[in-house]
Structure 1
Amino acid sequence: MILQSLISEFEYEVESSRKLLQAVPEKDLNYKPSPVSWTMGELAQHIATIYYWYVGVFSEDVYDMAIDSLERGSADDIKATIELFERNVEKAREAINSLREEDLQKQWTMKFGEKTVLGPLPRAVVVRSFLFNHVYHHRGEMVVYLRSTGNKPPGLYGPTYEDAQSN
């Protein structure tokens, strides 16, 4: 029951992430709102990368990010980032569909070498926080980046502010 709900949310939200990444213009990839912020390209690449982490969340009880690697390519190429996103979504889809309901209650831990970064937590909590909410947070940042550079963000949950103002 919970698993099917998570899978449905995953599929729905992938479309929103895709629309948002497709709205990122090449010309603004180096924009960053502050010295400590990522560039728009780095933020887009991070959003695409989160989908890769589904594999580690669903295939490992202890996921060590220090020994895992993902070839990301350049953050200055939005087409490459969208291709990365699409590849990672397929891996994520395969991983989430391999789960059983009882797997959601198993403990999961993320480490970086010897350092525990997250957990142990039930896998269901990790799905909601580290995967789903994490991507939603960064998508919200991307909306701000797009508006800050004079670009119109796509409507993710209905019409945007800009859409409402034009009616």
Structure 2
Amino acid sequence: MILEALRSEFEQEVSNTRKLLQMVPAKDINFKPSPISWTMGELAQHIATIYYWYAGTLTKKVYDLAADHLERGAPSDIGATIELFEKNVEQARAALQRINEDSLHEEWTMKAGERVVVGPMPRGIVARSFLFNHIYHHRGELIVYLRATGNKVPGLYGPTYEENPARKSG
């Protein structure tokens, strides 16, 4: 039951993430709201990269970031980021199909070499926080970047503020 809910949510939210990434304009790819922030392109690429982590999170007991290498392309190339996203989504989808409900209760750990970064904790909690919620968090940031640069924001859960008919009539 929980796994089926995660799979359904994954599919719905992949569509929302795709819509959002497709709104990133090349002209604003280097925008960043502060000196310590990522550029819009780096943020978009990070969102696409999180989908890559699904396979390691869902299929390995210990996921070592230092031992894994993902070829990402330039963060200033939104086309390459969208291609990365689509490739990673396919791998993530396959990983979600391979697991079973019991595997969500297994202990999972993320390491960077010898350093433990996350865990050990149940894989289901990691999937919800490190994967799903992590993407939602960064999508919210990307929406702020798009609005700050005067770009259109897609409606992810209904009309955006700008598209709301009640706002226009009042």
TM range (shorter): over 0.9
> Quick one: distance in 2 between partners of 1:59 and 1:124?
12
* CA deviation after TM superposition for structure 1 residue 58, in Å: 1.3
Q: Which residue number corresponds to residue 9 of structure 1?
A: 9
**1:27-42, aligned counterparts within 5 Å?**
27-42=27-42
Number of equivalent positions: 167
Matched residue of 1:161: which SS? coil
Q: What is the percentage of aligned positions where both structures have the same residue?
A: 66
- AA aligned opposite 1:155: G
Q: Would the aligned equivalents of 2:58 and 2:127 in 1 still touch at CA under 8 Å?
A: no
> Quick one: distance in 1 between partners of 2:147 and 2:168?
16
**1:43-58, aligned counterparts within 5 Å?**
43-58=43-58
Does 2:13 match 1:25?
no
- AA aligned opposite 2:118: L
Normalized against structure 1, the TM-score is what?
A: 0.98
Q: Which residue number corresponds to residue 136 of structure 1?
A: 136
**1:103-142, aligned counterparts within 5 Å?**
103-142=103-142
- In structure 1, runs of 5+ residues without a counterpart are none
Q: Would the aligned equivalents of 2:48 and 2:82 in 1 still touch at CA under 8 Å?
A: yes
- AA aligned opposite 1:126: V
Matched residue of 1:52: which SS? helix
Q: Which residue number corresponds to residue 65 of structure 2?
A: 65
RMSD: 0.8
Which stretches of structure 1, 4 residues or longer, exceed 2 Å deviation after superposition? Answer: none
Matched residue of 1:97: which SS? helix
* CA deviation after TM superposition for structure 1 residue 32, in Å: 0.2
* CA deviation after TM superposition for structure 1 residue 67, in Å: 0.5
Matched residue of 2:117: which SS? strand
Q: Which residue number corresponds to residue 77 of structure 1?
A: 77
* CA deviation after TM superposition for structure 1 residue 166, in Å: 4.3
Matched residue of 2:66: which SS? coil
Q: Which residue number corresponds to residue 93 of structure 1?
A: 93
> Quick one: distance in 2 between partners of 1:120 and 1:38?
29
* CA deviation after TM superposition for structure 1 residue 59, in Å: 1.6
> Quick one: distance in 1 between partners of 2:103 and 2:89?
20
